[in-house]
Amino acid sequence: MKKRTNIILVIIIGGYFLFYYLAPFNKNHGIEFNSERLKIGIPEIADNLKQIESSDKYETVWYDEKSKNGHFKKIVEYGFFDTKTETDYYENEKLKSTFLWSKYDFRNKSFKYFIEKPNDKLLSATKSENLKFEKPTIIEELSKKVFEKHITPLIIHINVAKNCP
């Protein structure tokens, strides 16, 4: 009985050690992964993005606090053994309080695109004619074509700014 208890205790402590100190096992999706990003079609980690500390060990965050126009944030989320998703955030200073993001799922090898914009209609009426307060923002899923239409001016603006003396 004592031997079985010791074995169970070793398994529990070993599992705890694996989960909290070694996992995730594959967390090498930093700048060295940029060549793979290009092949997949995910935006690279640019020079303006700096890695910041995250409270979650299952994610890595790069952020540009000065950017008000263009790609300003990247979050890579990890599973126990490998990368789960990579999300890229964009902001357009002409569209106040509007954010766009693309999310690549490494498991499904697919993209999803989103927009978060202000809700102009904060109040609405329910069927029973009561007032209902809406969320201050609306999040919608976009097609790739619509997403690219929104971010293309940002990418052109950034590339022109880089090439100017």
Name every residue whose Cβ is closer than 8 Å to that of residue 88 and which is 6 or more positions away in sequence.
42, 43, 71, 73, 74, 101, 102
Query: Does the residue 119 lie in any domain?
Result: yes
Domain limits for position 83: 27-163
Does the pLDDT at position 78 exceed 50?
Answer: yes
Structure-token pair, residue 37: 């990003």
pLDDT above 70 as % of the chain: 76
Averaged over 80-91, what is the pLDDT?
A: 88
Query: Does the residue 11 lie in any domain?
Result: no
Does the pLDDT at position 42 exceed 60?
Answer: yes
| Count of structural domains within the chain | 1
d(CA 32, CA 42): 14
Averaged over 133-143, what is the pLDDT?
A: 83
Distance from chain centroid for Cα 114:
11
Q: What is the pLDDT of residue 24?
A: 60
Query: Does the residue 4 lie in any domain?
Result: no
* 159: confidence class by pLDDT, cuts 50, 70, 90: very low
Burial of 66 (0-12, 13-18, 19+ CB in 10 A): exposed
Q: What is the pLDDT of residue 126?
A: 67
Q: What is the pLDDT of residue 162?
A: 44
| 67-76, 122-131, 143-152: least confidently modelled range | 122-131
| Cβ neighbours, 10 Å, residue 64 | 17
Query: Does the residue 84 lie in any domain?
Result: yes
Averaged over 77-96, what is the pLDDT?
A: 85
